[in-house]
Amino acid sequence: MEYKNSLGQPIGAPVPTWTERRKPPRLAVRGHYAAVEPLDPRMRGAELFEAAAEDKDGRMWTYLPYGPFVTREAYAGWMYLTCMGDDPQFYSIVDLKGGAVGIASLMRVDPKGGSIEVGHISLSPRGQRSRVATEAMFLMMRRAFDELAYRRYEWKCDALNGPSRAAAERLGFSHEGVFRQATMYKGRNRDTAWYAVIDKEWPFLKRAFEVWLKPENFDADGQQKVRLSVLTAEALVAAWAPVV
């Protein structure tokens, strides 16, 4: 549907009932396989360092502006310096059966515009491509849309970071473009790829996550029966299907 003002110019759809949203609470949330907890170096610092230390090549830090951390003290020092504020709001991603496997944050929070970004995602080898990581992303997204009623949930990464871009698309984010020479880090240029989910899409994507996360979607060896990428692609088609 198109909207025009009194001058006949095209304008955006009205949002008459919108009110400013609250900021994310610094609270833990728990799922079937994962928990997302406010990052506390005293509670999870050692676990996070030990998990990250399994990445012998430092591959998980390539596209982040910090790391790798050689010692536990260096990692903890970075946490105390960087991760204790309200924006970014850092969380530990915790395997309920095996301890912390990585971190992520909610950031660039815009309560007036209803936009929030997930970022600073660093997953150790044991957390990568796992049910724990996927459910953690789902739990954070669910907080943004269901609990806080935000309109937009963003994912941004180095445009050369193929695994991050693939993860965003698997999770149901839509690619919106590339900002060329958006910033610099570690002495090099970064073109930034933008992805987002909006509130119209969320109910369909939420059902896709819930189907994928069911125990019966995994065989005795823990292998998925239906791929999440298939479910989220179908969800986006359904979200934008014409109303008959």
- The predicted-structure confidence for 7-49, as pLDDT tens digits, reads as follows 999 999 999 999 999 999 999 999 999 999 999 999 999 999 9
223, pLDDT greater than 80 = yes
| Domains of the chain and any CATH numbers | 24-239 (3.40.630.30)
Q: What is the pLDDT of residues 137-157, one digit of tens each?
A: 999 999 999 999 999 999 999
* Local confidence band at 72 (pLDDT 50, 70, 90 cut-offs): very high
Q: What is the pLDDT of residues 90-123, one digit of tens each?
A: 999 999 999 999 999 999 999 999 999 999 999 9
232, pLDDT greater than 90 = yes
What was the pLDDT predicted at 163?
A: 96
Contact of 29 with 139, CB cutoff 8 Å: yes
Residue percentage of the chain with pLDDT more than 70 = 100
* Local confidence band at 243 (pLDDT 50, 70, 90 cut-offs): confident
* Average pLDDT over all residues of the chain: 96
Residue type for position 71? T
What was the pLDDT predicted at 244?
A: 73
What was the pLDDT predicted at 129?
A: 87
* pTM across the whole model: 0.96
What was the pLDDT predicted at 18?
A: 96
Q: What is the 3-state secondary structure (H, E, C) of the chain?
A: CCEECCCCCEECCCCCCCCCCCCCCCCCEECCCEEEEECCHHHHHHHHHHHHHCCCCCHHHCCCCCCCCCCHHHHHHHHHHHCCCCCCEEEEEEECCCEEEEEEEEEEEECCCCEEEEEEEEECCCCCCCHHHHHHHHHHHHHHHHHCCCCEEEEEEECCCHHHHHHHHHCCCEEEEEEEEEEEECCEEEEEEEEEEECCCHHHHHHHHHHHHCHHHECCCCCECCCHHHHHHHHHHHHCCCCC
240, pLDDT greater than 90 = yes
* Local confidence band at 1 (pLDDT 50, 70, 90 cut-offs): confident
Cα–Cα distances (Å) from 236 to 145, 171, 172, 230, 233, in that order, read: 16, 11, 7, 10, 5
